[in-house]
Each structure stands twice: as C-alpha cells, then as structure tokens.
Chain A
Amino acid sequence: MAEAHLSPRIIPDRLRSRSSRALKSWESLLLVVALLIFAFNSFASPYFLDPWNLSDATFNFTEKALIAFAMALVIISGEIDLSVASIIALTSTAMGLAVTMGADTPVLVLVGLGTGLLCGMVNGLLITGLGLPSIVVTIGTMSLFRGLSFIILGDKAYTGYPESFAFFGQGYVWWVFSFELALFVVTAIVFGVLLHKTNFGRSVYAIGNNQTAALFSGVRVGRVKFILFLLTGLMAGIASICLTSRLGSTRPSIALGVELEVVTMVVLGGVSILGGSGTIPGVVLAAFIMGMVTFGFGLLNVPGIVMSIFIGVLLISVIALPILWSRARRRMAH
C-alpha cells in the first residue's frame, strides 16, 4: 500500500558540510529531546537520579527496542511486520509448554529462539514466496499466532519457570547493568554495523528506495526481505524470552499491543514509514526517549491506557510534524 509520492524528491547539487548536516539531523533533535526529558524527570522526581531507579527505567524499553532494531530494517525495506506482539505470545506459550514437559533453561532458550524463527519464516515465506502484501499477511499472522496461544492456553496461565531462567529478565551482569540492558547495547551495535557497514545494509536501503531498480542492479530482493522477516521473528523470540523471564508467567494476552509501540519507536527514531531512510542510532535514541517518558509517567501515577493515548499521538505527530515543517519551509522559500 506504499503510496506514490506526488511531490518530486529534490536532490541538491552539493551536500552541505558534514558537521552542519549532523547538527540539523533528526538524530541530534532526538538527542536534545532526550536530554530535556532527562533533565525534566530529574527535577520532577527526587527519586529519578538514583542509579537503581534509572536501571529499572531501562526495562521499559529494552525488550521493545530489541524488536525495534529488526523492525527498523523491515520498514526501511518498505515492508512492515504487525505480528511481532503475537510472536512474543506464541513463543512465550511454547516455552511454557516446554516447562510443563520438564524442559530446563537451555532447552527453553532454544525453544524460544526456534519458535521466533519459525514465526518469522512463516511471515517471510508468505510475503516473499507468494508475493503477498506484508500488511495483510502480518495482520493475518497477528491473529493466527496469538490465536494459537489462545488455543493452547485458553484462560489458563503457565508459571513455574525454573529459577535459572529468571536471569534473562531479572539478572544483572555488573552493578546496576541488567542482562537486558547489556543485550540491548550488543544488539544495537550488531544491527548498527549490519545496516550501516555491510552490503546487506546497503541493499536494504536500495530495496526501500526503489525495489525495481534494486532488482535490476543485482540485489536479491526476495532473499533480503525473507532474511529481514526471519530476523524480526528471531528478535521477537529473544524479546519474548526476556519478557517471560521477567514476568515469570505466560498468558495468551501477554504483550498485547506491543507492535504499536515498536512501530512508534522506529518511526520516532526517524525511519521513514515509506521506506528507504533511517538509522539505528535514531532508533536507540527513540527507545531511550520512550522509555524515559513512560517511566516519568509511571512516577506521576498515570495509568497505562492513558500512556497509550500519548503513544498514539506521538506516532501520528512525529510523522505529521516533519511534513508540516517542510511544507512551511517551502512556503517561506517561495
């Protein structure tokens, strides 16, 4: 459903200097916003600057950010995956099922990764193999995957995860740095390198900017897209391991609506929803901002559903504002 852009894209004859571009980039704007929110929070609540509190705050975004990195690549390539929250649910259910069969932590992790990959493979095959639009396919698998966990679990819940499994969501690698935060940093670096420093990353941009041209210049469009959906499934599986370990239980309604927050995070990070542009550092900053805003709201006792209004408004306004801004600038130029 990617719409043709009616206004022509203007390509300047000469790029402005590197430093001036860096200053005016979306990422530096995000950095300023992040610092402002940080400062505001530390004034609003005396408890905010406590290292343990800050460490707790990171749990608000680490799991979602893990998926957001993969989602960023999917969206840059011009596709979308709305099934990630349901993959979390199905993966968590599969791990719960494995626990009832007496599986120990290493097996649970394998089951988690495997289920995530399998879900991603289903999406990838349907989208690249059959050439179906990703929006509808992932709307379908969104209800299929969660539906499967409803069939398996009904109104029950799985608990009784082994104690060693709790490490992924509750453990700390050093002082206040949780395992999830460490995983977040490592994943950010891996995806940053993958997108910005490898041929694979270049082809993701190429596909997002002009799929036909990419195909004619020798990019294996189908294979790249398949790998992207596989990666998204895998990251959703990893996020599910962390979330399940942190909560210590599984219900079929786990992670309901997370796909919205992940897409919002990616778009807030400066990734164009039409594909073709965006960066991993932008997504990292967006993750920090969303995490700190929800944490700040939490300190102010704002209920979750009201936060979701904020996320909805944020999602629309971060797309609307640049459009309005460029329109206003064009009007001033004339």
Chain B
Amino acid sequence: MAKLLKNREILLVLAIIVLVFAIALRFPGFIEPANLARVYNDTSILIILALGQMAVILTRCIDLSMAANLALSGMVAAMINAAFPGVPIPMVILTVVALGAALGSINGLLVWKLDIPPIVVTLGTLTIFRGTIFLLSNGAWINAHQMSDAFKALPRASFAGFPILSWLSVAAIAAIYVLMTRTPIGRAFFAVGGNPHAAVYTGIDVGRTRFLAYCLSGALAGLAGYLWVSRYAVAYVDIAAGFELDIIAACVIGGISIAGGIGSVAGAVLGSLFLGVIKNALPVINISPFAQLAISGTVIIIAVAVNARTEKRKGRVILKKAEAV
C-alpha cells in the first residue's frame, strides 16, 4: 500500500515536471529558477490552506467555509491594522490565527456535538462568515493606504533569498508533516477517517478528533487570511470568493480520498503545486484567465475519478460496507 501511495506522488511529480517543460517549450522563461520560485511563492497560500483541508477530509468531513474564514480573518486583520497601526504585526497574526481557529471550532462543535453533516454545516457557515464581513465593514474596502507599511511588508520581506511567504508555507508543511506522522492526533485523523467504529474501539473520540481537525483548518485559514490581505494589500467582502473549490481540488488532485482516511502531506502540497503551475501558466500561454474556473472543475472531476479507481483496487477498507447501513 505504501508503494502505491508513493507511486501516486511520484506520478504527480512527473505530471508537474511534464507540465512545466511543456510550457517551457513555448515560453522558455517559465522554467528559470527565479520564475519557479515565484510560482511556488504564488502557490504558498493555497498550500497552507490545503494542509488544513487535508486534516478535515482525512476525518471524513469537508470544510467549504475555509475561503470565507480566510476573508473574515483577513478583514479583521486589516481593520485592526487600520484602526491601531501601532499593534505589532506578530500580535495581529496571533489574533487572526486564534480568530480563525475559533471560527473553525464553530464548524467543529456543530459536527461534533450535534452530528450535523459537515457539508451542511460548512455551507451554512460559509454564508454566515461572508455576511459577517459585510456587517463588520459595512461593505467598505480597506485599501493599501490604510494599512501600515510593516503590515504589507512582512510576506514580501526576503529571508535567505526567498520571501517570508514562501518560508511560512515551508514551515507549515514541516509542522503539519510532523503532526500527521509523529503525533497521536495525526494518527487519530487517519484512524477516524479510515474506520470510525474501529477508532472508537481503540479509544479515539471521533467527534473530538473532527473538532480538532476543524480548529486546525480554521487556524490555517486565519493565517492565510492575514497573508492574503497583506500580500494583495486590499480587504473586502469578496476576497478569495470561490477559493474553497481550489482548496478541495488541490486535495483531491493530491490523492486525498474524499471518503476519508487516505492521503499524505506530500499529496496535498503536490496537488496545490499542480494547480499553481496551471494558474501561472495560463496567462503565459495566452489562455484567458476566465478559463481557470472550468479547468479547476475538470481537474477535480478527473482526479476524483482516478482516486476512485486506485481506492477500489486497494480493497483495504473492509468494514466500510457494513457501516454504510
């Protein structure tokens, strides 16, 4: 099984390399290291979000509210900065990460304590979060000139030749990798998704694990909210609208099974990079940016079809049928 999983990631790496070279044939500049670093930097936010979504999907749930959470946290970060420019940026980041986690915990509590299907909960909170941004901001934008220089500079600041934004995503990958593979809670994410009933018998609290997964995805969405708003230097109601689909697409492409229990950090990262390369290549090879939505959709469908095939072959989840009753 480990071999099959590895195969999938190697396949993705190959697909990305082929894609990059195909673009480079028409536009040699694309393959220059500086440009590739730029593509990675541009994908960083998606990677951070996909890592959070991965934890949620592993537990057989889904988080459609991540982009709305990002937008709300980003708006709050911008409002704090606009109202109190003196507040140090690390404080702002800590605040929005906590806020994001709190918003995620609302999803988690509804799923844990009330057993409401995750898709319904997060569809609901998606609109509630977006509406709350409107209530907070009265529909007004917070523009670049209202933000302090330090607020806007952080993701752009260079460290060892790469922007902080890239480093933050690397740090997130490392942290989530350790969390997923070296800690009890990481194992619990897999166990809950693989077989919730068996997880209960091994002493794992299924609801609590899901709750924690939502808190994690919320916290990462909060972090991404600050990064998004400071990078693009604008905050309004509709930032990152529809981005939840890109996040799920990245996970599905990365081989994270929507039925839970199967997936890897490398998969989530590669899935994000695959989308990131496509997104950055479209303007280069002269395809209208309007095509991106349709491409994401097609890639989601193809990826989920491919996933279903490989999962069927594995024949691993023995008890799934019995519990589907």
A1 adjacent to chain B (CB < 8 Å): yes
B294 adjacent to chain A (CB < 8 Å): yes
Q: How far is the CA of A267 from the CA of B120 in the complex (A)?
A: 10
A308 adjacent to chain B (CB < 8 Å): yes
Are B294 and A151 in contact, CB atoms less than 8 angstroms apart? yes
Question: Chain B residues in contact with chain A, CB under 8 A?
Answer: 60-62, 110, 114-121, 123-128, 130-132, 134-135, 139, 196-197, 237, 242, 245, 248-249, 252, 258-260, 288, 290-298, 300-301, 304-305, 308, 321, 323-325
A-B contacts, CB under 8 A, total:
155
Query: When A2-B324, A323-B114, A323-B115 are in contact, do A143 and B245 touch as well, CB less than 8 Å?
Result: yes
- Provide the A128-149 mask, 1 if CB < 8 A to any CB of B, else 0: 0011110111011111111110
Residues of B within 8 A of A142 (CB): 245, 297
Q: Which of A135, A151, A212, A313 contacts B128 (CB 8 A)?
A: A313
New A-B contacts (20) at CB < 8 Å, excluding given A1-B259, A150-B294:
A1-B61, A126-B301, A130-B308, A132-B308, A135-B258, A136-B248, A137-B304, A139-B248, A141-B297, A142-B297, A147-B297, A154-B290, A303-B134, A303-B139, A308-B127, A309-B127, A309-B128, A309-B132, A312-B125, A323-B116
Q: How far is the CA of A35 from the CA of B37 in the complex (A)?
A: 62
Residues of B within 8 A of A131 (CB): 308
Interface centre among B121, B124, B300 (most CB of A within 10 A): B124
Q: How far is the CA of A119 from the CA of B258 in the complex (A)?
A: 23
Q: How far is the CA of A131 from the CA of B305 in the complex (A)?
A: 9
A11 adjacent to chain B (CB < 8 Å): no
Residues of A within 8 A of B128 (CB): 309, 312-313
Are B245 and A1 in contact, CB atoms less than 8 angstroms apart? no
Residues of B within 8 A of A267 (CB): 120
Q: How far is the CA of A210 from the CA of B135 in the complex (A)?
A: 44
Q: Which of A139, A212, A260 contacts B325 (CB 8 A)?
A: A212
Residues of B within 8 A of A315 (CB): 120, 123-124
Query: When A2-B324, A150-B290 are in contact, do A144 and B131 touch as well, CB less than 8 Å?
Result: no
List which A293-334 residues lie within 8 A (CB) of chain B.
303, 305-306, 308-309, 311-313, 315-316, 319-320, 323-324
A80 adjacent to chain B (CB < 8 Å): yes
List which A172-191 residues lie within 8 A (CB) of chain B.
none
Query: When A1-B117, A316-B116 are in contact, do A146 and B293 touch as well, CB less than 8 Å?
Result: yes
Are B115 and A3 in contact, CB atoms less than 8 angstroms apart? yes
- Provide the A76-93 mask, 1 if CB < 8 A to any CB of B, else 0: 000010000000000000
Are B134 and A148 in contact, CB atoms less than 8 angstroms apart? no
Interface centre among A2, A154, A309, A312 (most CB of B within 10 A): A312
Are A320 and B290 in contact, CB atoms less than 8 angstroms apart? no
Are A316 and B304 in contact, CB atoms less than 8 angstroms apart? no
Query: When A140-B297, A305-B237, A309-B127 are in contact, do A135 and B62 touch as well, CB less than 8 Å?
Result: yes
Query: When A136-B300, A306-B134 are in contact, do A273 and B117 touch as well, CB less than 8 Å?
Result: yes
Residues of B within 8 A of A141 (CB): 297, 301
Residues of A within 8 A of B321 (CB): 212
Residues of B within 8 A of A311 (CB): 127
Between-chain CB contacts (< 8 Å), 15 pairs: A1-B61, A1-B258, A1-B259, A80-B119, A131-B308, A133-B258, A147-B290, A147-B291, A147-B297, A212-B324, A273-B117, A309-B131, A312-B125, A316-B124, A324-B114
Residues of B within 8 A of A140 (CB): 249, 297-298, 300-301, 304
